[in-house]
Chain A
Amino acid sequence: MLEGALRFARTWEGALGLLLLILGAAVALLAPLLVPGDPLEIAGRPLTQPLANPALPLGTDRLGRNILAGLLYGARSTLATAGAVALMALALGAAVGTLAGYVGGIVDEALMRVADAIQTVPAFVLALALVSVLGPSQTTVVLALAAGAWTAPARVVRAQVLSLKSRAFVEASRLFGRSPVAVAFDVVLPNALGPLIALAAVIVANAILLEAALAFLGLGDPNAASWGAMIAEGRTVLRTAPHVIVAPGLAVMVTVLAVSLLGEGLSRALEVSE
C-alpha cells in the first residue's frame, strides 16, 4: 500500500493532478473566508473589467456579481456534485454488480439488460430529461448524473465476482460460514478496487463536464453558484466583456484536467504493482 502510494507520487501525472485538486478543494473550503458574503449578491458596478478594482480582481458580470466569488463558490458546488455522483454511482454499481455476479441466472440477465439500456441512452440526454422532469436542484442533478454512471462500475464488479466466485480461497471462506455479503466485502471489493478507482476518476471528470453543460442550458440549481451558469450568463455580453466567460471556463478545464491526471497516475501506479 505504502509502496503503491510512493509509486503514485513519482508519476508526474498523479503528483500534478493531486496537487491541483488539493488546491481546488482548499480554495472551495475557504471560499467564505476568502470572499465573504453571498456570491450571488451584487458586489460592484456591472461588467467591471478584471484588475480595474483591487476588491474585484476578476471583475464583475452583467449583474455586478463578483466573478472571483462565483469561481470559488462554484468550486464548492462542482466538487460536491461530482463527488456525490461518483460515490452514488460506485455504491449502486458495486451493489448491482455483486448481486448480478453472485445470484446469476435470470437476476443477472435482467440487471445486465437494464445496464445495456442505460448505456445505450445518450448520458447527457438522459440527464437532461430527468432534471427537466424532476426540476433543477443539486439533488436532482446528482441523481440524474448518477443514473447514467453506475453501469461501468457494475460491470467491473460483476466480472470480478464471476472470476473469483469459484476460486479456492473464496469457497473456503464460504465454507467457514461467512455470509455472501461478508465475502463480497472482504474478498471481492479489495480485488476490484484498482479498476474502480480508475473508473471513479472518469466518472468525476464526466460529471463535472455534464453538470456544467446542464447549468449552461439553464438546468442547474438556481440557488448555487455554478461555473456552467456563469458561462451561460456571460454569453449575452460575449462581444463586450469576454472576461466573464474566460475565468469559469478555465476553472472547469483545470479541474477536469486535474481529475484525469490523478486517475491516470493512479491507474499507472496500480498497473505496475499488479
Chain B
Amino acid sequence: MRALRLIAARLAAAVPTVALVSLGTFLLLEVAPGDAADAYLAQTGGDAGFAGALRERLGLTGTTPERLLRYYTGLLQGDLGTSAVFSRPVFAVILERLPTSLLLMGSAVAFAAVLGSLLGLLAGARPRGWRDQAITVVTLGLLAMPNFWLALLLVLWFGVRLAWFPISGLQSLGVPKEGLAAALDVARHLVLPTIALGAGYLALYARTLRAGMVEAWRADHVRAARARGLTRRRVVWRAVARPALLPVVVLLGQQAGTLFGGSVVVESAFGIPGLGRLAYEAVAGRDTLLLAGIVLAGTVMVILANLLVDLVLVRLDPRIGAAGA
C-alpha cells in the first residue's frame, strides 16, 4: 500500500518534468540548423521540389505553436519521428538498442556496488588506519580519471598487450548466437567496458560507505556497545555498516543520469551497439530527431531508476514514505 502510494506520487511528480524536457527537445529541434526534411534529403539525396512534399508528410509545416501541438500529440502516441540516419522510427531504433545499454550499465553498477562496498567496509572498519589511507588515495584517483581514458588504457593493457579480453563489439564472429557459449562470449566482451564505466562509481560507493561508517562510529549506541565489551568486528557488522548502506542505495538513483552519460563515451570507445553509442551516431549523422529522442529516453530512464531506488529504500527503512512521501 505504501509502495503503491509512493509510485503514484513519483509518477505525478514526473509529469511536469517530462513535459518540460520534451518542450526543451522541441526547442532543440527548432533551433537546429535545417530540419528533419533536410537531414533526410542529405542522407538520401533528392531535389528541392521534393523537400516541400516531404515537410508536409513529416508534419514540419505551419507555425511554431502548430508544430509544438503536433510534436506533443506525436509523443503521446509514442511517435518520436523518423531517424534520418536509420530511415526508421526513432522509437523503434531506441528500443532496439536499449537492452544492450541496460546490460552494460547493470553490470557496471553491480561491479561498482560489490567492490565499492567491500572497499568502503575495509576503510570504514578502522578509520585513519593504513587500509583507510590507501583506499582513500586509490578512490580519489579513480574519481579523477576520465572513463574514456581508462577505457583506452584497459584496451592497451588487457586487450592488446596481454590479449585476455576482446576489445570491441559485444560478440565474436563464429560463436553461436544462443546458449551458454553465446552468454560467455558476451560476458567476456563486457569485462573491460564494465570496469571502464564502473570504476568511478566504485570509488564513489566506497567513499560514501566509509563516510557513513565514520559517522556511525561516533554514535552513542555504537560507543555504548563498545563500552559493553562487544568486539570491534561484531560492532562493525551490526551497528556501523548496516545503517551506512542506505546512502549507498540513494547514490544508485542519484547517479543514474551520469551513468547513462558515461555509457555514451564508454560504448563509443568499445564499439558496443547500445543506446550510448547511438547518441554518438546521432551526433555524427546530424540526426537531431534521434538525438532528441535519446534525451527523452535518458530522462525517462533516470525517473524510473529513481522510482526503483525509492521502492528499495521503502523496504530497507520503514520510516521512509510513512508520511505520504
B-binding residues in A (CB < 8 A): 113-114, 116-117, 119-126, 128-130, 132-135, 205, 209-210, 212-213, 216-219, 228, 231, 234-235, 238-239, 242, 245, 249, 252-254, 256-257, 260-261
Contact = CB atoms under 8 A, between A and B. Distances in A.
Contacts of B222: none
Given A123-B258, A128-B279, A129-B291, 8 more contacts: A120-B303, A122-B261, A124-B260, A124-B262, A132-B288, A210-B261, A234-B152, A260-B144
- Interface size classification for chain B: 35 or more
B302 A120 contact: yes
Given A123-B257, A133-B288, A252 B149 contact: yes
The 3 closest A-B pairs by CB, nearest first: A124-B261, A117-B20, A249-B149
B1 interface: no
Contacts of A123: 257-258, 261
A122 B149 contact: no
Given A235-B152, A238-B160, A242-B156, A261 B146 contact: no
Interface of A is mostly: helix
Contacts of A119: 257
A180 B256 CA distance: 38
A253 B141 contact: yes
Nearest to A135: B33
A219 B291 CA distance: 14
Candidate in A122, A217, A218 with the most chain B CB atoms within 10 angstroms:
A122
B12 interface: no
B265 A216 contact: yes
Interface string B8-28: 000001001100110011001
A119 B258 CA distance: 11
B86 to A, nearest CB: 17
Contacts of B256: 122
A121 B280 contact: no
Interface of B is mostly: helix
A20 to B, nearest CB: 11
Nearest to A219: B283
Contacts of A135: 33
B264 interface: yes
Interface of B: 13, 16-17, 20-21, 24-25, 28, 31-33, 140-141, 143-149, 152-153, 155-156, 160, 256-258, 260-262, 264-265, 268-269, 279-280, 282-284, 286, 288, 291-292, 294-295, 298-299, 302-303
16 contacts: A121-B295, A121-B299, A122-B257, A122-B302, A123-B261, A125-B294, A128-B264, A132-B286, A132-B291, A212-B148, A213-B264, A216-B148, A228-B146, A242-B156, A257-B141, A261-B140
Contacts of B156: 238-239, 242
Contacts of A117: 16-17, 20-21, 24, 299
Contacts of A231: 146, 148-149, 152
B261 A238 contact: no
Given A120-B257, A132-B283, A125 B149 contact: no
A125 B140 contact: no
B291 A121 contact: no
Contacts of B264: 124-125, 128, 213, 217
Contacts of B25: 129
Contacts of B146: 209, 212-213, 216, 228, 231, 249, 252-253
Contacts of B257: 119-123
A233 B268 CA distance: 14
